[in-house]
Structure 1
Amino acid sequence: MTRTRARALLRISTLAAVLAVVGLVVPDSAVRPADMALVKLQTAEGVDPGGDDVVWILAVGSDARPGETMTRTRGDALQLIGINPRTSAATSIGIPRDSYVSIPGYGSDRINASMVYGGPQLLGETVGNLVGIQPDYVFVTKFPYFIDMVNDIGGITVHNPRAFSDTGLKPGGFKAGDIHLNGYGAMAFSRIRHSLPGGDFDRSANQQRTLAGIQARIRQQADKPGFIEKGVLSVMQHLDTNLAPGELFRLAQLVAQVDPSKITGCVVQGGFAMIGGASVVTPDTGQARRYGDVARTTAVIRHC
């Protein structure tokens, strides 16, 4: 992946780039699988990124292996992100990937299985049923490209509340406090869970910290003349999307205008259970709905 390509995508995705579907996307190549996808869902036909309503983006980090279709595999990270164009506020509702929920038409399963069953439309509907907010867009990216993107902007700074490590991904670990992460470090920080006391819940919170770090870094460059325009023109050559160029440009403007000091986020909590021989998360559905109710029109969650 070229530096130009990575920089262009970051201009569009900003909050959605961590981490990350799809019969609706328009492939830009007949012979090459997509590395990134930005999909407008059928339920969002009337959304206007240049309007006054909160725009909701479901960000998905795909764990697709070589040869697998990125948008029809289980997502490894799920963040529902709301952006308020009136106030430049943004919030994210983190959803543990192993949350055991009802998937329309398929019974109950882990929430990320809905991407396998029905692409972004079903994934969005399933998340919407849990939180009470149907996303307008779904953004998906592979982790190797996330690494390139973070490196391209010179790394990010996050506040880490606790020291932790992982023998596979980060033997040296992460110290507590403000830390600077390169692309690989940001990926590992976002994916490690076994050594965290809260497992999936703490991992989802770290993903939100990573998103905030990316947003803060990008915001520093957003006012440069031609920054967004050049990004949109470039990304149209590499991004699988069903958005028209004008809507893509308005969405890019919306994301770039987010004020890092107005970013909030909470993770849907819950318990753990063994169902069908597999370990799953049993999400607190009441809490998920409360987060949705609070953030729906403001993109702000003041208390988790």
Structure 2
Amino acid sequence: MHTNSQILAAMRTFEAAARLHSFSQAASELSITPGAVSQQIKNLESQVGVMLFTRKIRQVELTAEGLQFYETVRPALVSIENCLSRIKRSDLKGSVRLRSIPSFVFKWLIPRLGGFQKRYPDIRIETIAEGSLLDLKNRDFDIAIDYGLGSYPGLSCSLMMNENLFPVVSPEYFSDIDWSTPEALNRVPLLHDTAPWADAEPDSEWRYWLRASGMNTIETDRGHYFNRGDMAIKAAESGLGVAIARESLLTDEIIRGRLFAPYAKQKCRCRYYIVYAHGALNNPRIKAVHDWLIEIGSQPG
């Protein structure tokens, strides 16, 4: 007897029913109805010409012929599943080159990479972080994470997460200032990330946050200037002044009392985007990194 398509299609259903001694439990495992399981088994028995199960009120038992069939089908299906798993794992083995800006890699990405490694132990992420702004012209990457407006001519992108901005200051400094009034900001040095996004002015983040907060009387062209956001935040923690913080670049500084946020958050015009070449997500390794970034980017905190 030739093994036709109906017999092959019913083997997985037969194996589940035989292993679980139940058509209803097999239906639940396979996400089909008990009636569909019963019909497939009936068709299989008709095809092979023998009864494979003895039906009882709450369970089924294999006949001698059914047991003989199960002892052949079960290891064959396990072998097929193991082979497919090995093939799939081979697609998820190798390196993925990821490029981003140092502040984001250091403060946000690196603390989360352990979770990726546990899920995909055979994928090696080669992280490249250089320059205050991301240079995408060279395209020597598989995936990049950029903080921008989402326009990447010649490339594809996916929104990963939004960003919030708010001032932070060390609670040990300027303790005599009444932070309930906006004018307090005129009494302290402002700390700037001079290159928060492409084509930004040195005080762009401060001007953006003040405008969004309705504070129009604060002079922003003063204070101390840094070319990385994490440096400005560290300067605030050290008591040099008040910095505009990106929420993603803070870890536990506020919870541990090293920084104080005297004013409300404002949603930034820039967001974090995953950038990649057209068609890159057809590569299983790149898609695994992309989908993981989307997943953790949507999680709070």
TMscore range, shorter length: under 0.3
Larger Rg: 2
With normalisation by structure 1, the TM-score equals 0.19
Q: Give the TM-score taking structure 2 as reference length.
A: 0.19
